[in-house]
Structure 1
Amino acid sequence: MIQVGIWLIASALILIIVMSILAAWKLRKQSMKRKLIKARLDYFNNGNSVTLNPDVAVSDQAELLPYLKKYEFPRSLLTLGDILGSGAFGVVRKGQAKTIRSREVVTTVAVKTVRATASLDCMTALLRELRILCYLGEHLNLVSLLGACTKNLEYGQLFVIVEFCRFGNLHDYLLRHRRRFVNQLDADTGEIRDQNQVGDVIEPNDQSEGSGPRCNENLEVGESSDGSDSSCVGVTADGVVTDTESEKPKLRLRYPGDYTGIDTDPIRTRDLVCWAWQISRGMQYLSAKKILHGDLAARNILLSDNNVVKICDFGLSKSLRDEENFKNNEGGPLPVKWMAIESLRDRVFSTKSDVWSYGVVLWELFSLGNTPYHGIRPHDMCQTLIDGYRMERPEYAPQSLYDLMSSCWKEEPSERPSFESLAWKVAEMIDEHVKSYYLDLGNPYTEMYADAWKRERETVIHGDEPAVCEETRL
């Protein structure tokens, strides 16, 4: 009995010692992590005096960009709400921010944060995006930074507050409303009909590509992949589509949007062209500021009020080049079907690789949200592109726009157009009063384009072809 007692006591002592060692190791690990976060916080707050390298994309030097203290927002004035979506780096929540905008007591916002269990890499990625947003300032077609809560960064709490776009991302919006689409293409010419002509209401064929259950990296598919039920669709004399039954989406959308009190109009071909133009303008601004996007896709373009689209989630290219992130240890899909040949093969990212992605976005728009390169496995994409395969013209794209898509998919990056050139060419397909409307919305960040657009119009009036720079430079 004595020996058993001694054995029990010895076992208990060993267990206590082991548990103490484990507890001390855990505390030490937490302490080291907190010190590391604090060091990054000091670096983040104090900035860096190193001058940016003009030969390197600013998005690849984001750690050198300063955080502007004017964006610091009191955490006590921010209320978090429902989750809008989640991605590789964290979670986006709907929120209410008091006095974050002048003349508004409470503003509905979107708040980006990292998960409680997220790694330091995720925090670093969000900090990089915050720095880029500070550097970019405001543009009508980019999701603008409204504020940030960084005071508790050493405890793993970071909130980046940006504009809220009530209608969600374009990919989900197209799927949800595709059965109410008004096709304005002329069957004979393949181009958009005259403004006064009524378009045709289409209802996607269930057997067509992209219909029914399909492999889509961004959706959880339920009974119907186009988000519609079988209710009847009609059209009035002025081309407005009406439903005899309410919509009953079968999809759990990535960012479903907020339609409270809103009666949305049907999507028309002219809307798609207008969105394409706005996206090119936003990307023109990004390229002028030397920011590479790296993940330009319809899922990363949000629809706001007044039919304004805004690009979000900038600066992924550096993360994709990083070996650990390229393997995508966060569990989400790599955007291989939106990536250029050189990005897939050599992990080379540039404004020209963003141009390639823009071409894929155009294809998404005019296919009403179909999955690009349908039926091609992601790991076969690189060789398929090298072999010369390119997607065919989507059914609802004017031939002139498909020509633009094809120019974006040139194998040699230098042969692809610049975003400045793309913005000009798409603008030629839009009525003058529509262009003037978006230039005159009253946003201060659109004024910089007003004079340039007037000069372009005067050039056309005098019969001269406007000069298009191959590259936009600072």
Structure 2
Amino acid sequence: MMSDSILEDIFIKRSQQKKKTSPLNFKERLFILTQEKISYYDYDVEKGKKKALKGTVEVDKIRCVEKVLPEENAPIERLYPFQIIYDEGPLYIFAKSDEVRRLWIHQLKHVVRFNKDLAQKYHPCFWVDGMWLCCQQGVKQALGCQVLQPKNGGLLGNPSRRKSRKPLPPTPAEEPTPPQPPCPQLGPSSGMTVIAEYEYTPVNKQDLPLRPGEEYTVLEAVDASWWRARDKHGNEGYIPSNYVVEAGHGFERFAWYCKNINRSQAENLLKAENKDGGFLVRDSSKTGKYTVSLYAKAPGDPMGTCRHYNICSTPQGQFYLAEKHNFSSIEELINYHQHNAAGLVSRLKHIVSNKADKAPSRAGLGYGIWEIDPRDLTFLKELGNGQFGVVKYGKWQGQHDVAIKMIKEGSMSEDDFIDEAKVMMKLHHQNLVQLYGVCTKQRPIYIVTEYLSNGCLLNHLRDSLKHPSPIQLLEMCKDVSEGMAYLESKQYIHRDLAARNCLVDSNGTIKVTDFGLSRYVLEDDEYTSSAGSKFPVRWSPPEVFLYCRFSSKSDIWAFGVLMWEIYTLGRMPYERLSNTEIVEKISTGLRLYRPQMANDRIYTIMTSCWHEKPEERPAFQDLVVTIQDLLYELQ
């Protein structure tokens, strides 16, 4: 592989039809991606050598990278197309597998994330014979017909590198721009067949029950979280989209694949099973990569050890754990190593699965449920006192675990919050605490959310975490950064990011909560400086002190402080200073010291969040990539 290359693969390339009369052809080419360009070469398969250079695309000219819907009755070698849109139009490439396609799309999006004029829309279908198949437009440079949604690893430009920036408010009294509602996400194609991963029992007449393993046909993507579907008996209704997977795609259908599980959680699962050769496959910390976690017990060793093997790929798109044992798919690789150790500490003897775990949270208890009848709530125990009042654990309709915030009168601007709650319910991510609904017909009003059994991150750090490993601490930071990157992609500002506003689920996953709620605080000492302005002083940057200007960049500052909380196991930031002293000293350059448990690279991430100028701080998406890369190295 070339010294400066990022990826190399042999793909089929479609001719670009630069003239309407040009015939279509498909040729195999060796593609090489570097930081500056994509080059593709003629390739001698028999000799394994690249030949003449056939074309290049400059990275800074790329406007969009995205999948393409495959053509009807596509041959097997053209089932996984993706497109690179640049100034000369679309370049269509066909990968050999969905895993390889996802890897290339993710890496390309990362490389071009700072490009100017990134596309906001794209064409999901091919340009063929002078026409876009998706929208029938006859102009090759026509604006796309589908909104392009930034996701983790998506085409998210770094605002700090863009020249067009909004000025600071002219006066400190001016209200910041309210958050925008979530953009609609691209849904599945109509008629797509999906398989239920989890059981879903309808909570109203509109919903459709799901039975694990059964197939359903998607009729309409109502929004990102709820789809209208039909079962095999012809019954129709709404289903939570994160309870199903597309039939025939992905690893979800394999018992050995554990979704949404990190290294520490994998080790806990394998050790609990306590079987020599117990294994699972999980998403690596680096998006688009996979890791095999394997538990082995030597004779006379009651404890056993966990090993983690990253699944690597060759330039030809094959996969391997041990060199010289290459396979065209990850399924074939796992099957081989179930019968042969071939360089691993043990063969893969026993599948260890988290499939029996409870279903993930969904965006709402049922489709369209927003106003919750308080008579459907059962209060079981008090969890604590929050800034808005008592928080209790309970059940909805006697079976669904929920947390209920009982808002004490006078603590919140209630009418404004109620207007905002519908927008907040549509925010859905595995690292955000899900808002299920509100009870507003009586006083006090209730806010009903997902319940997380391990409570507040701050208490978890102080009381429960004993001798954490560097990977454990960094995984916590990764969880928070990914939840915040999602909020950032929705133009949603948290305003109060801190360890006290994160919760820990039963598996140890960290989820961000109370995003946006600080706007509705009426009185709280934690949020009031000596000058009377309301903000979380110890987590706030200079532009909040000076202008009351909140943005995703002020959230970035708070994330750096939250990282510091994690690496000090819950110490109070600036513990010896008053709020007034903090404001004065931060404005003159004071920053938190390096925690003993944080090495220089970790502290560098923290300090990058504390640049005085907001535009010099990274975006959350950049932090996600940095933390993912660091975790990948540690594995």
Give the structure-2-normalised TM-score.
0.40
Structure 1 302/311 Cα, relative in aligned 2: closer, same or farther at 3 Å? Answer: same
| 1:139 is aligned to 2:429 | yes
Aligned to 2:396: 97
Aligned to 1:113: 406
Deviations 1:158-193 (A, max 9, x none): 222111111111111111035x21xxxxxxxxxxxx
Unaligned 5+ runs, structure 2? 1-165, 167-175, 183-363
Distance 1:110 1:129 in 2: 19
Structure 1 370/125 Cα, relative in aligned 2: closer, same or farther at 3 Å? Answer: farther
Structure 1 125/268 Cα, relative in aligned 2: closer, same or farther at 3 Å? Answer: farther
Q: 2:549 aligns with which of 348, 351, 356?
A: 348
Structure 1 110/432 Cα, relative in aligned 2: closer, same or farther at 3 Å? Answer: farther
Distance 1:391 1:164 in 2: 33
- Residues 52-67 of structure 1: pairs in structure 2 closer than 5 A: 57-59=177-179
What amino acid does structure 1 have at the position aligned with 2:426?
Answer: Y
Q: 2:580 aligns with which of 374, 379, 382?
A: 379
Equivalent residue pairs, number: 277
Deviations 1:125-175 (A, max 9, x none): 642562342231x2100000223333xx2x424222111111111111111
Distance 1:309 1:130 in 2: 22
Distance 1:351 1:130 in 2: 20
Structure 1 77/433 Cα, relative in aligned 2: closer, same or farther at 3 Å? Answer: farther
Distance 1:125 1:72 in 2: 16
* Greater share of strand: 2
Aligned to 1:251: none
Aligned 8 A contact 2:527 2:536 in 1: no
| 1:403 is aligned to 2:616 | no
Aligned to 2:443: 156
Partner SS state of residue 96, structure 1: strand
- Residues 19-418 of structure 1: pairs in structure 2 closer than 5 A: 57-59=177-179, 69-98=368-397, 106-115=399-408, 118-119=409-410, 121-124=412-415, 126-127=417-418, 130-136=421-427, 138-150=428-440, 153=441, 155-178=442-465, 180-181=466-467, 267-316=468-517, 318-319=519-520, 327=528, 335-418=536-619
Distance 2:411 2:536 in 1: 23
Higher relative contact order (CA 8 A, sep 6+): 1
CA displacement at 1:74 relative to structure 2: 3.2
CA displacement at 1:424 relative to structure 2: 0.4
Distance 2:529 2:477 in 1: 29
Give the structure-1-normalised TM-score.
0.53
Distance 2:397 2:434 in 1: 17
Aligned to 1:25: none
Distance 1:292 1:112 in 2: 21
Aligned to 1:199: none
Deviations 1:265-284 (A, max 9, x none): xx322111001011101000
Aligned 8 A contact 2:526 2:537 in 1: no
CA displacement at 1:86 relative to structure 2: 2.3
Distance 1:298 1:345 in 2: 24
User: RMSD of the alignment, in Å?
Assistant: 3.4
Structure 1 321/57 Cα, relative in aligned 2: closer, same or farther at 3 Å? Answer: farther
Distance 2:471 2:406 in 1: 36
Partner SS state of residue 111, structure 1: strand
What amino acid does structure 2 have at the position aligned with 1:135?
Answer: K
Structure 1 128/397 Cα, relative in aligned 2: closer, same or farther at 3 Å? Answer: farther
Aligned 8 A contact 2:411 2:522 in 1: no
Aligned 8 A contact 1:89 1:122 in 2: no
Distance 1:348 1:124 in 2: 23
Distance 1:125 1:273 in 2: 36
Deviations 1:85-116 (A, max 9, x none): 223323211111127xxxxxx1221012212x
What amino acid does structure 1 have at the position aligned with 2:397?
Answer: K
Aligned to 1:11: none
What amino acid does structure 1 have at the position aligned with 2:509?
Answer: V
Aligned 8 A contact 1:408 1:417 in 2: yes
Aligned to 1:12: none
* Greater share of helix: 1
Structure 1 128/362 Cα, relative in aligned 2: closer, same or farther at 3 Å? Answer: farther
CA displacement at 1:390 relative to structure 2: 0.9
Unaligned 5+ runs, structure 1? 1-54, 100-105, 182-266, 435-474
Structure 1 392/82 Cα, relative in aligned 2: closer, same or farther at 3 Å? Answer: same
Aligned 8 A contact 1:319 1:325 in 2: no
Q: 1:420 aligns with which of 621, 624, 629?
A: 621
Aligned 8 A contact 1:345 1:382 in 2: no
Distance 1:399 1:414 in 2: 23
